[in-house]
Amino acid sequence: MTWHARMIAADAEYGAPLLRREFRLEDGHGAVTSAVLTLSALGVVEATLNGRPVSGDVLTPGWSSYEWRVRYTEIDVTALLEQESVLGLALGNGWYRGRLGWSGSRALYGDELGGFAELAITFADGFEQRIVTDESWTSGPSAVLENDLYDGETIDARRLDGAWQRPGFAGAGWTGVHALDFDTAKLTPYIGPKVSRREELAVQRVWTSPAGHTLLDVGQNLVGWLRIRVHGPAGGEIVVTHAEVLEHDELGTRPLRSAKATDRYVLSGGDDVFEPTFTFHGFRYAQIDGWPGELDPSAVTAVVIGSELDRIGTFRCSDELLNRFHENVVWGMRGNFVDVPTDCPQRDERLGWTGDIAAFAPTAAFLFDIDAFLKDWLRDVDAEQRNHDGMIPFVVPDSLKYLPNPGGFPDPDSTALWSDAGVWVPWTLWEAYGDREVLEQQFDSMASHVRRVRTLLSPTGLWDTGFQFGDWLDPDAPPERPADAKADKGVVATACAYRSADLVAQAAAVLGREDEQREFAEHAAALRAAFNEHYVAGGRVTSDCTTVYALAIAFALLDEQDERVAGDRLAVLAEAARFRISTGFAGTPFITDALSRTGHTDVAYRLLTERECPSWLYPVTMGATTVWERWDSMLPDGSINPGEMTSFNHYALGAVADWMHRVVGGLAPAAPGYATVLVAPQPGGGITEAETTLATPHGRFAVRWAVQGDRLHLEVEVPNGADAIVRLPGEDERTVGAGRHVFDEVVRIGPGISSIERPGGREPLDRGQRARSSDRVGAVPDSA
């Protein structure tokens, strides 16, 4: 594409500069038929035309691997044009020049903010007028004195003056601009959705803390900011500090680490409205200091932001704690899908950790349509990988490479689960949406990852070398040493390496790449053989803990006899832990699948419904409205976990929702994109009814079931052109087509139906729930 615009920067240093260009429509060409604005920035940008916002988007152009990709957006602004017009750009630091990471570093990508705009105006006779950013623009200061994603925003309302957005502005104190040395070949269109305001929530309560501070509660841990309306004396200052939780009846800010999460507003003396759109916070509570008079709750509104994702999957059941947990999973995802899939939205981190999305992608793909969102992110995975000699880094975009030592990790290299995101995420999109394109676009990246890992194997054929996160945040690890898990790191890494090699072989088969299919199938077979030779003895797996059994079973690494023994051992270990969680990041997404696969669905339900810490429901009993980073981020006495990493909005451990959708709800894909679904609910855990729905590329599926006594009542809705395989306890499998289907069967309900009688013996209900068990472990779209 040929660009006429330049990336420009203000000649003077302003915290958040304004750029403007005044122009007049050309005469003699008839009416304007269209006007399209192409917009981008180094930093974040908000554009106005004649004082009106050109869109509702915020934080444009988001965060990408700026070294190679800077996104642009195209906006139809025809309705905003006037004969004499002013195009204005307001710039903020965003990810480009703001703080990134926990070391205090900022401006990792550059120290000058830049604006890029190209307005193409087409007239009735075909003539095109272009208004572009170049050296003819002027620049000046804004009312935003400071802005940072971690630390917050400072706005001085006394400096607000809309005159700069109107023709004839004199521009006292304004200066010129200069063109930056920017390669326009980096500009690339958005593939995924924009970030915008998604919802508004009212303040639920205002009170005074024991220390005398004014606190408020919006009732939900969310990501965004507070919009306030206030009237007070000119020069008065209001300070708003945000946090996710309270501790000792005061704002609990320690988990934020060095992030200030504080907005400051200087009053004009009139009626002011403040909205800090160059930052965002993860919070439920806020402390407001300096408010003139008594705070009226209606003067404050919580604005929820996030990427514009369509909700497609839902889930509910008779257990209200599980329903609240599922809703927590949804809110956690919403808050961490702000342009990049991040680990957390509140502290001095907020990075695109690959391990989190590797674990959570199947759940995410069920709850929301994330196809385009993750395809955009995968372009950055590919870009980073190409410039890391095939290594997929810990975070994407990789800001850690700019930090000292980078980020405190020794000699970063390919790492199990984290780097495997480059394979597992595209495969998840293929399964969820039948999107062959994502496999085509990412295949080289997927293959490159597996080939690099192959070079890291020891002579035994195991991946037992180099740094590994392993089963990160094992609940039995000390808070200050989250990598000290029970699971042997070589077992975890080799299992993940096998799964990735197997999935790449399957992807090659889908794409008809026979040579690669053979290559990766042979590599997967070698990894499987090495795993069994060195780590398995009579069904027992090295380090003999829940995570190693969960991975070995879920990834189909064991032969039939060893898998049966391993499943029984896993059930024994789960019971020995009193059905409390004993797995970390690696094992948690797969443990319930491993149990139900081996005939222990009743044990999986015991884990799911356990309320004591550590468990999925413990945070719910503590009032959580999102999923926590640690099982005990808040201790039973209401104090915050003493560990340095204590987020109250971390979606990764919510990956079990995928199992809830498939096994509890009974809705799973039997073919990519849900062209055929498997309806196989497995009632248990005291749950008497459940309903799951999913809007797929083929239409909407719905599964509803209820148990009364020994009868299972099932309703299935299938869209036109699709099929459903219905598998009920003790009944022959049947396939049904489009329409509404009702089944009323006598079933044997135990503490948790985990097996059915079939000729020749007992078979786990969800065996065969995927075309191949390793295709989609811990994945498959779910709902809330």
Q: Just list the catalytic residues.
A: 349, 629
Are the beta carbons of 415 and 378 closer than 8 angstroms? no
Strand ranges (DSSP E) for 149-213?
152-156, 177-179, 187-189, 195-202, 205-208
Strand ranges (DSSP E) for 571-688?
667-669, 676-679
Alpha carbon separation from 16 to 94, 223, 290, 572 (Å, rounded)? 10, 22, 24, 59
Q: Give the DSSP H or E segment for 498.
A: helix 489-511
Tell me the Ramachandran region of residue 309: left when phi exceeds 0, alpha when psi lies from -120 to 50, beta otherwise. Answer: beta
| C-alpha span between 656 and 685 (Å, rounded) | 15
* Residue closest to 550 by CA, chosen among 417, 667, 736, 461: 417
| C-alpha span between 724 and 735 (Å, rounded) | 6
Alpha carbon separation from 701 to 674, 737, 783 (Å, rounded)? 9, 11, 12
* Residue closest to 31 by CA, chosen among 123, 127, 131: 123
Strand ranges (DSSP E) for 420-552?
536-537, 540-541
End-to-end CA distance of the chain: 42
- Please return the burial class of 82, using the count of CB atoms within 10 Å of its CB with bins 0-12, 13-18 and 19+: exposed
| C-alpha span between 259 and 483 (Å, rounded) | 24
- Which pairs with CB-CB distance under 8 Å and at least 24 residues apart come from 698-703? 698/673, 698/674, 698/722, 701/667, 701/674, 701/677, 703/665, 703/666, 703/667, 703/679
Q: Which residues of 657-666 are buried (b: 16+ CB within 10 A; e: fewer)?
A: bbbbbbbbbb
Are the beta carbons of 140 and 173 closer than 8 angstroms? yes
Q: Which residues of 224-255 are buried (b: 16+ CB within 10 A; e: fewer)?
A: bbbbbebebeeebebebbbbbbbeeeebbbeb
Are the beta carbons of 508 and 517 closer than 8 angstroms? yes
Identify the three-state secondary structure at position 406.
helix
Four-CA torsion 529, 532, 534, 535, nearest 10 degrees: 150
| C-alpha span between 584 and 477 (Å, rounded) | 9
Q: What share of the chain is helix, strand, coil (3-state, %, to 5)?
A: 30, 30, 45
- Which pairs with CB-CB distance under 8 Å and at least 24 residues apart come from 400-405? 400/101, 400/351, 402/100, 402/105, 402/108, 403/101, 403/103, 403/105, 403/108, 404/103
| C-alpha span between 218 and 204 (Å, rounded) | 5
Q: Of how many residues is the chain composed?
A: 784
- Report the half-sphere exposure of 729 (CA within 13 A, side-chain side): 27
| C-alpha span between 178 and 224 (Å, rounded) | 33
Bridge partners of residue 271, in order along the sequence = 231
| C-alpha span between 276 and 255 (Å, rounded) | 22
In terms of DSSP H, where are the helices of 275-317? none
* Residue closest to 705 by CA, chosen among 669, 666, 749, 670: 666
